[in-house]
Amino acid sequence: MKIELCDKYEKLYNFVHLISTDYVELSYEKVRVQRDEYMTRARKLIQELDKMSVTYDTTCMGPVSIEWYKKRGLTQKATETLTADSVLVSLGRYKAGDVLEYDEITVHCACGRIDIRDDTKQGYDGWDEYSVAPMLAEDWHALTEFLSALETEEQLAYYTLIDMFEVNYGKSITWIE
């Protein structure tokens, strides 16, 4: 992998060096021809260097129910004294000074799916997804950041992605049962 990156860097460096040191034509027609040649070479080089065709992203789909959190002991009772400018007071449901009791989430979680797109395949043929169980929201956000920057030549298996992420993250994902 390191040698491959060095080769890519060298090809890119050589191309940029050519453009920066090449004689600049002064006539309009010659400048146009020179520009078109650079553009053709640049497109060819980009195609050669950009072999990565599989991208990854996440879609957060939950949990969305306070009951889910309550079942797992991830809430606590909280109270709030309503003020005159509260929406609930302005709707006429409560009066200013009323005390509202509610369940507050203490540990935020997220779950959903990993979306996979393979640019080498037509239409939905290049689409795939992996389901992702609930985890700490902090871990979900880090996973999302990691996957959105990841491109591979071939689709990686679910556990390979998770293992790569945890190595990069420096700790294991905290899964929520």
Domain total in the chain:
2
In a domain, residue 80? The reply is: yes
Q: Do both 34 and 74 map to the same domain? A: no
In a domain, residue 110? The reply is: no
Range of the domain at 101: 66-105
Per-residue pLDDT of the chain (177 residues; tens, 9 = 90+): 445 556 666 777 777 767 666 666 666 677 777 778 878 877 777 767 666 689 999 999 989 899 999 999 999 999 999 999 999 999 998 999 999 999 999 999 999 999 999 988 888 888 999 999 999 999 999 999 999 999 898 899 999 999 999 999 999 999 998
**Helix, coil or strand: residue 89:** helix
Partnered with residue 77 across adjacent β-strands are: 103
pTM assigned to the model: 0.68
Q: Do both 5 and 44 map to the same domain? A: yes
* 53 and 120 Cβ atoms separated by less than 8 Å: yes
Residue where a domain stops, chosen among 105, 136, 168: 105
Return all residues near 13 (Cβ < 8 A) that are at least 6 apart.
none
